[in-house]
C-alpha cells in the first residue's frame, strides 16, 4: 500500500493548506496531520524501534515544521518537506549509526547460483529462480509471507530500512526519498538495492522452503 | 560491467535491477538490461520477484494515528500562536 502518489513539487492545494496553517487555521492543521502522520510515524519507526519514542519524534517534527511553516515554498511536496523534520530528529536516536556501511554490502544473489568462469555461460543462472506468478495467491500474499517480509525489513541495517521505508512503504518518489535523506543518489540507491534484495531473498527462502 | 560490452550476464543483471527499476541506468545499460530480458526467462522471473517484493513491503503499510496523539498535536497547535 503506497501512502501517496509520487509528485515533484507541492500542489497548489498544499500551498493553500500551509498558508491556512500559518494563519492559525486548526482545521487545516488537522487535515495535514490526518494526511501525513502515518508516513511520518512509519519513517520514525524505521529509525527507532520503541513506539513511544517514535511518536515523540513525530510530535516534535510537527512542532519544528510549524515553527518553520512560513518558509515552506512548495519546491518539494508537503509530505517530503515534513519527512525531513522527522529524519533530522530520528536519525541521531537510531540504534546504529546512519552512515556508510560498505562492509555490509552483499551480492543480490549468492554467487554460487551462477555458472563459474570455466563454464559454458559464465555468470548465467545454474538453475532459474522460481516464477512467483505460478504461486497460489494465498501463499504469495498470505499472513505467513507478510510476516516474513516484516521480519526481513526489521532485520535490515537502519540505513537500508529507512530508504526502503521511504520508497516502498511511504511511496515517495526516488528524487524525494534521496533528498529527504540528504544522500547522493548512488549511495541511496545502493542502500535501497541492498534492502530490496535482502527482503526478496527472505521471501525466496520462505517460498522455496 | 560486462567484459563484453554487447551483453550482460544474469549475475550482472541482478545487481543492476534496482537502477533499472528506479529508472537510473544510463541509456546504454538500460538497453543491455532489456535486451537480456528478451532472451532470459530466469531474469524475467527474477525482476518479477523484485517487483512483487516491493509491493509486499508496501502492503506492510503504516500505523494509523492514535486518538491521543492527534489530540496532543491539536492541543499543541492551539498553543502555537502564529505571529
Residues in chain A, how many? 209
Which domains, and CATH codes, for chain B?
A: 10-78 (1.10.10)
A147 and A174 together in one domain = yes
pTM for this prediction: 0.92
Using CA atoms, how far apart are residues A15 and A72, in angstroms rounded to an integer? 8
Question: What is the CA A170 to chain-centroid distance, rounded?
Answer: 6
Q: Comparing C-alpha atoms, which of A2, A196, A164 is closest to residue B16?
A: A196
Using CA atoms, how far apart are residues A153 and A148, in angstroms rounded to an integer? 9
- What pLDDT score was predicted for residue A49? 86
Interface check for A140 against chain B (CB to CB < 8 A): the answer is yes
Interface check for A34 against chain B (CB to CB < 8 A): the answer is yes
A153–B73 CB contact, under 8 Å:
no
Q: Is residue A50 part of a domain?
A: yes
Ranges of residues in chain A whose predicted pLDDT is under 50: 1-2, 98, 100
A147 and A182 together in one domain = yes
CATH, residue A202: 1.10.10.10
Q: Residue A131: list chain B partners with CB under 8 A.
A: 45, 48
Using CA atoms, how far apart are residues A43 and A181, in angstroms rounded to an integer? 11
A87 and A108 together in one domain = no
Q: Residue B51: list chain A partners with CB under 8 A.
A: none
A71 and A113 together in one domain = no
Q: Is residue A83 part of a domain?
A: yes
Give the SS3 label for residue A125: strand
pLDDT tens-digit series, residues B21-69:
999 999 999 999 999 999 999 999 999 999 999 999 999 988 899 999 9
Helix axis angle for B41-60 and A185-208, nearest 10°, is 100
A19 and A82 together in one domain = yes
- What pLDDT score was predicted for residue A80? 96
> In the predicted model, is pLDDT for residue B2 greater than 60?
no
Of A93, A119, A152, the last residue of a domain is A93
Other CB atoms within a 10 A radius of the CB of residue B61 amount to 14
> In the predicted model, is pLDDT for residue B4 greater than 80?
no
CATH, residue A54: 1.10.1740.10
- What pLDDT score was predicted for residue A176? 95
Provide the domain limits for residue A191: 102-208
Of A93, A126, A144, the last residue of a domain is A93
Q: Into how many domains does chain A fold? A: 2
A125 and A70 together in one domain = no
Using CA atoms, how far apart are residues A68 and B82, in angstroms rounded to an integer? 11
A85 and A171 together in one domain = no
Q: Is residue A178 part of a domain?
A: yes
Question: What is the pLDDT averaged over residues B8-19?
Answer: 97
> In the predicted model, is pLDDT for residue B3 greater than 60?
no
Using CA atoms, how far apart are residues A139 and A130, in angstroms rounded to an integer? 14
- What pLDDT score was predicted for residue A146? 97
Q: What is the ipTM of this complex?
A: 0.91
Q: Residue B14: list chain A partners with CB under 8 A.
A: 107-109, 197
- What pLDDT score was predicted for residue A172? 96
Interface check for A33 against chain B (CB to CB < 8 A): the answer is yes
Q: Comparing C-alpha atoms, which of B44, B45, B40 is closest to residue A132?
A: B45
- What pLDDT score was predicted for residue A6? 56
A82 and A121 together in one domain = no
Contact A208, A200 (CB under 8 A): no
Residues 6+ apart with CB under 8 A from A11: A77
A139 and A169 together in one domain = yes
- What pLDDT score was predicted for residue B81? 67
- What pLDDT score was predicted for residue B10? 98
Amino acid at each position: 500500500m503506497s501512502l501517496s502518489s509520487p509528485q515533484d513539487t507541492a500542489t497548489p492545494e498544499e500551498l493553500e493548506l500551509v498558508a491556512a496553517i500559518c494563519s492559525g487555521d486548526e482545521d487545516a492543521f488537522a487535515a495535514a496531520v490526518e494526511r501525513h502522520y502515518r508516513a511520518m510515524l512509519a519513517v520514525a519507526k524505521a529509525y527507532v524501534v520503541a513506539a513511544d519514542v517514535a511518536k515523540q519524534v513525530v510530535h516534535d517534527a510537527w512542532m519544528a515544521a510549524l515553527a518553520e511553516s512560513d518558509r515552506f515554498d512548495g519546491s518539494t511536496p508537503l509530505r517530503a518537506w515534513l519527512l525531513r523534520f522527522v529524519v533530522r530528529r530520528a536519525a541521531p536516536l537510531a540504534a546504529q549509526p546512519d552512515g556508510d556501511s560498505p562492509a555490509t554490502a552483499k551480492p543480490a544473489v549468492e554467487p554460487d547460483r551462477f555458472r563459474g568462469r570455466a563454464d559454458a555461460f559464465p555468470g548465467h543462472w545454474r538453475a532459474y529462480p522460481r516464477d512467483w506468478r505460478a504461486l497460489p495467491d494465498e501463499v504469495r500474499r498470505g499472513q505467513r509471507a507478510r510476516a516474513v517480509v516484516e521480519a526481513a525489513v526489521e532485520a535490515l541495517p537502519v540505513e537500508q530500512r529507512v530508504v526502503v521505508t521511504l520508497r516502498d512503504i511511504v511511496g515517495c518518489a526516488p528524487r524525494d526519498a534521496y533528498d529527504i535523506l540528504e544522500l547522493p543518489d548512488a549511495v541511496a540507491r545502493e542502500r535501497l538495492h541492498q534492502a530490496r534484495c535482502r527482503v526478496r531473498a527472505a521471501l525466496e527462502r520462505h517460498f522455496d522452503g | 560491467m560486462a567484459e563484453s560490452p554487447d551483453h550482460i550476464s544474469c549475475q550482472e543483471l541482478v545487481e543492476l535491477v534496482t537502477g533499472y527499476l528506479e529508472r537510473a541506468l544510463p541509456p546504454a545499460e538500460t538497453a543491455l538490461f532489456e535486451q537480456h530480458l528478451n532472451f532470459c526467462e530466469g531474469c524475467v522471473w527474477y525482476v518479477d520477484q523484485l517487483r512483487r517484493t516491493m509491493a509486499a513491503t508496501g502492503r506492510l503499510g503504516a500505523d494509523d494515528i492514535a486518538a491521543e496523539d492527534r489530540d496532543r498535536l491539536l492541543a499543541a497547535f492551539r498553543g502555537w500562536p502564529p505571529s
